[in-house]
Amino acid sequence: MTNRRSVLIAAPALLLARRSWAADTFPSKPIRYIVPVAAGGGSDFIGRAVCERWGHALNQTFVVDNIGGGGGVIATQATAKAPPDGYTLMQGYVATHGTSPATRKLPYDAVKDFSPIGMIGGTPNVLVVNSAVPVNDLKGFIEYARKNPGKLSYGSSGVGSLTQLVMELFKQQAGVFMLHVPYRGISPAFTDLMGGQTHAMFPGLAAALPHIRSGRVKPLAVTGTARNPTLKDVPTLIESGFKGFDAMQWYGVVGPAGIPAPLVKQLNATLNAVLKASDMREKLAAEAVDPTAMSPEQFGRHIQAEVARWTTLARERKIQVDD
């Protein structure tokens, strides 16, 4: 007859052995990688580029699953409810884990419901004005806006979007007023900016570059801690006197809360190795994304800081999305 005490002693050891085996053999099947937007576009391109190389690093297939709708809510819920076994990951970004939690009532907690895996990278936002606006630099634009209170307007990709929040942060720090005109996406916002219906906007650099190169809009400043190589002559907000103005359009990887630490460590290490490859830097440059490797702990702190930062601004500027 088996001794009950020996069974109780052996059980934890057996459990540890199984956990060790699971970590040693992970991943033993394809990994589902949820991208919270429809196929096509910059975010989808970033996800597929990363997954292609990440799959090689882990010797396993990544299956990209585009789940659009609800501003990322549907995809984010699907991720949060998945088993925490490392086989369901999501490309979280500034909207799902930054601006939306700050401006909307959501059915998920951007911090508590997820395991941060690592950062992919970020792209700056750029302050652009219609080519007919009679200014050529940031100082001139601020002076022009102050001399024309209530006469200028700016477009955004929607209420509560990063394009609105970054401009509201700028307005707050610069002490200027401009009327907000929200659009359903960045494309129609650019159409009206170039047509003169609005005067300024703070889009992501990748979306702005074609219009900057065409001469239809003028870049005045970029976010971030250093000038962007693509716009070497355009100063940052920080060097122009806007302390701490480093808002970015960023992308990272999260999974459901509770993924075992060894799996998180393995996923993070292989992701960071992929990001450090020179050819990956070249690929992501197509979307003006600068690869930024982080540990899971660093990325977790980044998410918390983003939610706190934009929540504070949204409250101060009374920005709230009514679903």
Instruction: Show the tokens assigned to 320.
Output: 């709230």
Whether this prediction's pTM lies above 0.75 is answered by yes
Listed in order, the ranges of the chain carrying CATH 3.40.190.150 are: 4-122+249-316
**How does pLDDT run across 218-262, given as a tens digit for each residue?**
999 999 999 999 999 999 999 999 998 999 999 999 999 999 999
The count of other CB atoms within 10 Å of the CB of residue 20 is 11
So what's the pLDDT on residue 14?
A: 35
Q: According to the CATH classification, is domain 126-231 in 3.40.190.10?
A: yes
d(CA 246, CA 229): 16
Summarize the confidence of residues 13-28 as an average pLDDT. Answer: 57
Q: Give the DSSP H or E segment for 263.
A: helix 261-275
**How does pLDDT run across 264-296, given as a tens digit for each residue?**
999 999 999 999 999 999 999 989 999 999 999
Listed in order, the ranges of the chain carrying CATH 3.40.190.10 are: 126-231
**How does pLDDT run across 119-152, given as a tens digit for each residue?**
999 999 999 999 999 999 999 999 999 999 889 9
> How does 169-191 read in b/e, with b if 16+ C-beta sit within 10 Å?
bbbeebebebebbebeebeebbe
Q: What mean pLDDT value characterizes the chain?
A: 92
**How does pLDDT run across 58-71, given as a tens digit for each residue?**
999 999 999 998 88
Give me the CATH code for the 4-122+249-316 domain, please: 3.40.190.150
